[in-house]
Amino acid sequence: MKKLIVGNWKMNLSRAQARDLATALATRETPKADIVLCPAHVWLAAVARTLQDSGVRLGAQDVSAHDSGAFTGEISAAMLQELNVSYVIVGHSERRHHHLETDPQVRAKAEAAIRHGIIPIICVGETAFEREGGRQQEIVARQLDESLPKTGTYVVAYEPVWAIGTGKTATIQDIEKMHRFIRETLARRVDRAEQVTILYGGSVKAANAPEILATANVDGVLVGGASLQAEEFWAIAQS
């Protein structure tokens, strides 16, 4: 199966930089991976134009749980769909932390995306404090239970919070163990759990991507910092 390589640009890049980075990647294709770029909302239209006719897909970093109405500052799944968005990240730990998003809200956002034909990338993961207390599986189990929609296609991204933007990656053993746990948990919820894409995220770079992508039950990666440089991100996609 092809790996899914997702670049989360977060709140970075000017419009020109976003277009340049998308241009640098749009012209390349690898049979090994599907590539998704997630720019800030305001650059979605510019990047969508750049990616037109390329094999690279467009993703967004968040979506409203509501379809329309009085929700100042929010962006609906229908609006994203009009911009050719194929994927949307929901429940990223930065949104759970800074915007106090709860599991039920994450689930509602995922359901809104699915209603409009967009695949949600649902993020889960424990904090350093929770891991120190040996509670990582309990936390991830609760997040899966409460933030996954009952039906529809979705991607799960395991991102240990302490590994995001810190340069610390989980050990291969930790990744393998948690991804197996996620797969087993999914098997109790859905018929074809083996077909659900499970991503790993947290300080993924070209140097550690081959080993991470070779780990059992890792179907791709969600990349933050290292997705901002074309060569580094491309090297990850080729691993």
Binding residues for ligand PGA, rule: CB under 6 A, are 8, 159, 164-165, 201-204, 222-226
Least Å distance between CB 92 and ligand PGA? 6
The catalytic residue positions are 92, 159
Q: Up-side HSE of residue 127: CA atoms within 13 Å toward CB? A: 6
Work out how close the CB of 29 gets to ligand PGA at its nearest, in angstroms, rounded to a whole number.
23
CB-based contact 61:41 (threshold 8 Å): yes
The token pair at 108 is: 């509602």
Residue closer to ligand PGA, measured from CB, 12 or 66: 12
Q: What is the DSSP string of 170-208?
A: --HHHHHHHHHHHHHHHHTT-TTGGGSEEEEESS--TTT
Least separation in angstroms between residue 215's CB and ligand PGA is 16
Distance CA 96, CA 214 (A): 29
39 vs 224 by CB, closer to ligand PGA: 224
Residue nearest to ligand PGA (CB): 224
At 29, is the secondary structure helix, strand, or coil?
A: coil
Q: Please identify, using beta-carbon distances, which residue of 182 and 223 lies nearer to ligand PGA.
A: 223
Phi, psi of 10 (to 5 degrees): 50, -150
Question: What sign does the CA torsion over 154, 62, 142, 66 have?
Answer: negative
Residue 20 or 232 with smaller CB distance to ligand PGA: 232
- Please, what is the minimum distance in Å from the beta carbon of residue 203 to ligand PGA? 4
Contacts of 187 (CB under 8 A, 6+ apart): 193
